[in-house]
Amino acid sequence: MENLTRLCIVRHGETDWNAEKRIQGHLDVPLNEAGLSQSHATADGLVELKFRAVYSSDLRRSWQTAEIVAKRLALPLHPLPGLRERHSGVLEGKTIDELAISHPEAHARYLDRDPDYAFGTGETMRVFSARVVNSIEGLIESQMGASLLLVTHGGVLDVIFRRATGRDLDAPRDYPMPNAGINWFEHHQGNWRLVAWAEQFHLDPNMDSGSDHPE
C-alpha cells in the first residue's frame, strides 16, 4: 500500500524502579542488569528485520535500550523528546501505596484515570496524549512509507494503543505492557492500525518482563 508507514514500538528494558513498582515519569532512572539483558535480547530478536532508522525518547532508560538495539542493527539513532514518558508531577518517585498516604487526592485521581488532572506540576493525560500523537505523526509525515523502530515508555505505548483501537483515555488499562515488549502498528492517511501487541518471543521465559510495573 502506497505511503503505508510501519512502526515497531519497543518499551525500554527494566529498571530497578520498575521492579519496585515506583513511578518514574521524567526522572532519569537507568536500566538494571535485567533491563540491559532484555535490551540485548530485543536487538537479537529484531536483527533480521529492515528499518530505516531508530528513534528514542531521550530519557536514559529508553536511550540505553535504543543504543543497544541500534548498534546491533547498524542503524542511525535519533533522539525524539516527544517520546518521553508522561511528566507525572507528585507521583514521580513514589509507589502507588506511598502515594495513597502522601497525596490521597492524587492517588484517587490516578486510580480514576482522570484525563484532566496534572498531579501538581505534571501533564494531564490529554496534554500528554496530544504531545505523543503529534510527535509521532510529525515523524511519520517526514518518513512516510518507511519502516521505523521507536523505543519509548509504557505511558507512550498506552497512548498509541488507545489511538489505534479507539479506546478512551479514561478507560481501564487492562492489557500488558512488558518491559522490552515489541509492538507493531501501521499508519496510513491519518489512520492507525494495531498489528501486534506485547510480543515477547525474544525474551527468556524465566525473566521477569515487568508486565504490571508502572511507568
What strands lie across the sheet with 147-152, from one edge to the other? Answer: 77-79, 53-56, 147-152, 5-11, 182-188, 191-199
Round to whole Å and give the CA distance between 206 and 191: 37
Residues identified as active-site: 12, 85
Q: Where are the beta strands (DSSP E) in the chain?
A: 5-11, 53-56, 77-79, 147-152, 182-188, 191-199
Cell of 35: 533491563
**Using CA atoms, how far apart are residues 144 and 134, in angstroms rounded to an integer?**
15
- Give which of 158, 134, 162, 139 is closest to 149, Cα–Cα: 139
Burial class (CB in 10 A: 0-12, 13-18, 19+), 24: buried
How long is the chain?
Answer: 215
Which residues are registered as beta bridge partners of 202? none
Which cell goes with 110? Answer: 490516578
C-alpha cell at position 8: 515497531
